[in-house]
């Protein structure tokens, strides 16, 4: 069975999609998760097992960069040992600087790297890793700041929803109610949208009146 490691960390924008991908793959592959301390607050330990890795942030506090580089190299050796010991053949990175050690270590083990980028602007870590990745999964081929020479690595996919949503019984009808279903896709610019877009101003009133189902998804924690 193919062994896959999903590396993620930092914000919910990286971790939540990693968990979603894990749920979709776990029945057909041997899938594992690796994250940093920041990423653990988005993971329910009762539902997911993960490998904790302490990766220094090379982009903060330039004065401590020499120490961080030494620690980064050490973590990269740890990542190498983990990949080799567990016979990982594929790495899926959802972004974040904690993915660097595993991705770099994979170069010595012939592990295939697949990146995931749900945003319209390619993230910093993905921009660096695209050089050694086989594919980058995107929702739109017109990514801003994307290096044109790697355009051939883009693989367009449909938005990845949580597995429970696909499995939901959408065919059932409630004959006692004719209330509408609302899917509200939110994001980091949601406050601005609600203020500037007249069509959004009625959303709170609609919710207050009651709907049959209301799903609130946030772009930055959902993908």
Where along the chain do its domains lie? 3-163, 170-222
pTM of the predicted structure, to 2 decimals: 0.74
Q: CA-CA distances (angstroms) from residue 85 to 7, 80, 82, 91, 174?
A: 16, 8, 5, 14, 52
CA distance 6 to 108: 18
Q: Which pLDDT score is estimated for 179?
A: 56
CB 155 within 8 A of CB 136: yes
3-state helix/strand/coil string of 179-197 = CCEEEEEECCCHHHHHHHC
Residue 109 CB neighbours (<10 A): 14
Over its length of 223 residues, how does the chain's per-residue pLDDT go in tens digits?
899 999 998 888 889 999 999 999 999 999 999 999 888 999 988 889 999 988 877 667 777 778 888 888 999 999 999 999 999 999 999 988 889 999 999 999 989 999 999 888 888 889 999 999 999 999 888 888 898 899 999 999 888 888 777 666 554 545 455 555 555 555 544 443 333 444 444 444 444 444 444 344 333 333 3
Topology (CATH) of 3-163: Rossmann fold (3.40.50)
Q: What are phi and psi of 32, to 5 degrees?
A: -130, 160
Distance of CA 126 to the CA centre of its chain: 11
């Amino acid at each position: 069975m193919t062994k896959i490691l999903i590396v993620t960390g930092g914000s919910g924008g990286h971790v939540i999609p990693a968990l979603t991908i894990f749920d979709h793959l776990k029945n057909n592959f041997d899938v594992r998760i690796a994250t940093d301390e920041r990423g653990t607050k988005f993971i329910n330990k009762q539902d997911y097992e993960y490998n904790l890795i302490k990766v220094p942030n090379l982009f903060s506090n330039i004065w401590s960069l020499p120490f961080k580089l030494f620690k980064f190299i050490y973590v990269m050796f740890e990542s190498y040992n983990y990949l080799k010991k567990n016979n990982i053949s594929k790495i899926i990175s959802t972004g974040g600087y904690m993915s660097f050690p595993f991705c770099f270590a994979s170069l010595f083990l012939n592990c295939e790297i697949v990146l995931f980028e749900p945003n319209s602007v390619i993230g910093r870590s993905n921009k660096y890793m695209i050089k050694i990745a086989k594919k980058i999964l995107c929702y739109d081929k017109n990514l801003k700041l994307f290096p044109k020479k790697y355009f051939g690595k883009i693989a367009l996919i449909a938005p990845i929803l949580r597995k429970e949503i696909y499995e939901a019984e959408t065919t059932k009808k409630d004959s006692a109610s004719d209330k509408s279903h609302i899917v509200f896709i939110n994001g980091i610019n949601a406050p601005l949208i609600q203020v500037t877009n007249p069509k959004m101003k009625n959303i709170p009133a609609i919710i207050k009146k009651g709907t049959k189902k209301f799903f609130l998804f946030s772009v930055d924690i959902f993908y």
